């Protein structure tokens, strides 16, 4: 990953720059982050909201550019985040409401936006231990579903979300938005199917695949004996046979209505709260 | 509810009309269904997809207009639906791909679209019996959330979804889309908060409200003794005190991550599968 502001001279780093024009090249670069190509090339992505930016910094994410609207100027928390951004060599932009609306494509935009370095966790670095739960998603397509699943994994105390094969980009604006900040808290891993299967052979985990053809009620599975990987199929096709064969159990959620009417994010939520049933309690929260 | 085609003369009813122009007044009327005002005035709404239209007719919904693209012409199932539409006095339109794309605002539109009469269930007609579960949503705002909740209620075998107070329109295209057809299968009820509270005093139900301040673990509640109404707060504010006071239990879902990180639809799904845990089994499905 290269710093997207590299080569623009040291004079630009660490100073607040005021921008009101949509045609400013820096703003154009930021707007281009709506494209996956640009996100991939720059290794960066956008997150909206002061609280999210504060949380991301606290969790050790690297901010490249902080953008805030004139209305947010002088707010102590905004000033603090600006100082931290400058200290890390990042750029701080004070912009008009029009500009921040254009960047985030919103009518009522947040007043603060951060451009962060992307960060993925490597599959090989995962060493699941007892009490840990992972979600593995096969070729998930819908950005909103992926964001909601990352958010739900966070809520349920899962240790990471593994994206298998071709998936929607976890760093798209729509996905990041749907995570409500959990994209900064939950490790996200990308892996090919072959790599996932190779990892699965080494890792001492129990793979529980949710499959329409699954014969086992999801509530009868032993989620306590090993770390659990909940393997969820994609929105259209379910799980391919190569992955289903690698599973220790093929689980099914009983449904009363029309066939297969559960949305992927809901099914993942129901599975997560079942797999972690023995681990979650109101007391544990404090 | 008045028939939106009323007054246009009997010659138009029951015949297939070919339309290729976006400026055709009938197409303009259909496109106007994107507006809540038009949906309210005409008492109608749009649903996409041949399977959905077939299911809706089977469930007794009244179709006013069937629209299909030229590519779908001659398909036996499409012909059958067209015959049924004509038999009911509805209008059948054969249109270009461009027109159906404009109606549904999609790049890859479905080939069949149905315009149906809206149908809501009256709160006073609900007489919950043991084994039934209802979802009551206080001022739900997000169309996608509402659609997903209706879909999940269907999957879990719930008996209806009660919308309390100002809510997003259950008949918007985005909500109908997210229900994946369940809007035709699950009774939807609208009620003011006062009407809901009055109904609650007469109905012999157990109201379980999910509340951040709830002290009771959602898994310790008795969902078997009475019909259950799961009362869910809205995305921003949770449940107002008047509704919380009317609840028999204030439930909380233990969360491991950051505060209140569960999305409304996911929380509703987790609650539904818990409240109906004793009622759902793989065998029951057959
Ligand atoms: Co299969
Ligand atoms: Co309250």
Residue among B180, B182, B273 whose CB faces A270 most closely: B273
Q: What is the DSSP letter of B263?
A: -
> How many other β-carbons are positioned within 10 Å of the β-carbon of residue B76?
7
Helices marked H in chain A:
25-31, 36-42, 50-58, 76-87, 97-104, 143-156, 173-179, 193-202, 241-245, 264-275, 282-285
Q: Where are the domains of chain B?
A: 10-117, 123-285
Residues from chain A that touch B154, judged by Cβ atoms under 8 A, are 256-258, 261
pLDDT for the residue numbered A259? 55
Tell me the ligand closest to B234's alpha carbon. Answer: 2
pLDDT for the residue numbered A1? 39
| B284 lies within 8 A of chain A by CB | yes
CA nearest B251 in A: which residue? A282
pLDDT for the residue numbered B145? 95
Q: Å from B145 to nearest chain A CA?
A: 11
| A259 lies within 8 A of chain B by CB | no
Confidence of residue A284 (pLDDT cuts 50, 70, 90): low
pLDDT for the residue numbered A6? 42
Size of interface A-B (CB pairs under 8 A): 131
Confidence of residue A246 (pLDDT cuts 50, 70, 90): very high
pLDDT for the residue numbered B10? 39
For chain B, 286 residues long, the average pLDDT of each consecutive 10-residue run is 41 69 93 96 96 95 96 93 94 94 87 97 96 97 96 96 97 95 96 97 95 84 98 87 93 80 92 96 67
User: Which ipTM was obtained for this model?
Assistant: 0.90
Residue among B215, B257, B284 whose CB faces A157 most closely: B257
Ligand 1 center to A244 CA (angstroms)? 7
Q: Å from A256 to nearest chain B CA?
A: 5
CA nearest A52 in B: which residue? B258
A182 contacts B262? CB cut-off 8 A: no
Q: Topology of domain A123-285, per CATH?
A: Alpha/beta knot (3.40.1280)
Tell me the ligand closest to A238's alpha carbon. Answer: 1
B148 contacts A144? CB cut-off 8 A: no
pLDDT for the residue numbered B257? 67
| A65 lies within 8 A of chain B by CB | no
Question: Over 60: is that where the pLDDT of A185 sits?
Answer: yes
What is chain B's percent helix, strand, coil content, to nearest 5?
40, 20, 40
Contacts of B83 (CB under 8 A, 6+ apart): none
Closest CA to A265 of B185, B275, B148: B148
Location of structure tokens 């004793």: B278
Q: Å from B285 to nearest chain A CA?
A: 6
For the stretch A190-218, pLDDT in tens is 999 999 999 999 999 999 999 767 789 99
Task: Please answer whether residues A276 and A156 qualify as being in contact, where contact means their C-beta atoms are separated by less than 8 angstroms.
Answer: yes
What DSSP string describes A48-64? E-HHHHHHHHHTTPPEE
B281 contacts A254? CB cut-off 8 A: yes
Distance, in Å, from the CA atom of B37 to the CA atom of A90, rounded to the nearest integer, reads: 48
B185 contacts A263? CB cut-off 8 A: no
Ranges assigned E (strand) in B20-106: 44-48, 63-69, 91-95
Confidence of residue A234 (pLDDT cuts 50, 70, 90): confident
Distance, in Å, from the CA atom of B209 to the CA atom of B135, rounded to the nearest integer, reads: 10
Distance, in Å, from the CA atom of A82 to the CA atom of B279, rounded to the nearest integer, reads: 54
Location of structure tokens 């019909």: B227
A154 contacts B281? CB cut-off 8 A: no
Residue among A180, A263, A279 whose CB faces B152 most closely: A263
| A201 lies within 8 A of chain B by CB | no
Average pLDDT of chain A, as a whole number: 90
pLDDT for the residue numbered A260? 60
- CA atoms within 13 A of residue B19's CA, in its CB half-sphere: 24
CA angle (A42 as vertex; A41, A43 as ends), nearest 5: 95
Question: Over 70: is that where the pLDDT of A160 sits?
Answer: yes
User: If 0-12 CB within 10 Å is exposed, 13-18 middle and 19+ buried, where does residue B218 land?
Assistant: buried
Distance, in Å, from the CA atom of B233 to the CA atom of B149, rounded to the nearest integer, reads: 13
Residues from chain B that touch A284, judged by Cβ atoms under 8 A, are 254, 256
Residues from chain A that touch B256, judged by Cβ atoms under 8 A, are 154-157, 276, 279-280, 284-285
Q: How far apart are the first and last CA of chain A?
A: 40
CATH number of A10-117: 3.30.1330.30
Task: Please answer whether residues A80 and A4 qualify as being in contact, where contact means their C-beta atoms are separated by less than 8 angstroms.
Answer: no
Distance, in Å, from the CA atom of A224 to the CA atom of B8, rounded to the nearest integer, reads: 67
Disruptive mutation site among A265, A278, A282 for chain B (greatest number of B CBs within 10 Å): A282
Edge-to-edge, what's the strand order for the sheet holding A188-191?
Answer: A188-191, A160-164, A133-138, A228-232, A206-210, A249-252, A216-217
Q: What are residue B112's phi and psi, to 5 degrees?
A: -130, 135
Tell me the ligand closest to B241's alpha carbon. Answer: 2
Tokens of B263: 């999305």
Closest CA to A271 of A139, A190, A156, A131: A156
Distance, in Å, from the CA atom of B265 to the CA atom of B249, rounded to the nearest integer, reads: 20
Contacts of B3 (CB under 8 A, 6+ apart): B64
């Amino acid at each position: 990953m290269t710093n997207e502001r590299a080569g623009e001279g040291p004079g630009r780093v660490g100073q607040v720059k005021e921008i009101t024009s949509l045609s400013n090249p820096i703003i154009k670069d930021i707007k281009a982050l709506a494209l996956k190509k640009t996100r991939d090339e720059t290794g960066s992505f956008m997150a909206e909201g002061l609280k999210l930016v504060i949380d991301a910094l606290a969790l050790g994410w690297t901010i490249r550019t902080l953008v805030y609207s004139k209305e947010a100027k002088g707010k102590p928390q905004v000033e603090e985040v600006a100082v931290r951004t400058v200290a890390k060599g990042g750029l701080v932009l004070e912009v008009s409401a029009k500009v921040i609306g254009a960047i985030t494509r919103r009518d009522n935009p947040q007043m603060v936006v951060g451009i962060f370095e992307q960060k993925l966790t490597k599959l090989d670095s995962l060493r699941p231990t007892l009490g840990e739960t992972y979600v593995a998603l096969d070729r998930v397509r819908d950005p909103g579903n992926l964001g909601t699943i990352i958010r739900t994994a966070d809520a349920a105390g899962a240790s990471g979300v593994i994206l298998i094969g071709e998936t929607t980009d976890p760093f798209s604006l729509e996905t990041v938005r749907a995570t409500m900040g959990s994209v900064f808290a939950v490790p996200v891993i990308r892996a090919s199917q072959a790599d996932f299967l190779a990892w699965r052979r080494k890792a001492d985990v129990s793979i529980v695949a949710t499959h329409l053809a699954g014969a086992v009620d999801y509530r009868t599975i032993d989620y306590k004996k090993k770390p659990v990987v909940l393997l969820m199929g994609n929105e259209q096709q379910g799980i391919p046979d190569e992955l289903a064969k690698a599973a220790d159990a093929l689980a099914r959620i009983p449904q009363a209505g029309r066939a297969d009417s559960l949305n992927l994010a809901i099914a993942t939520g129901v599975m997560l709260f079942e797999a972690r049933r023995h681990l979650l309690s109101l007391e544990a929260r404090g």
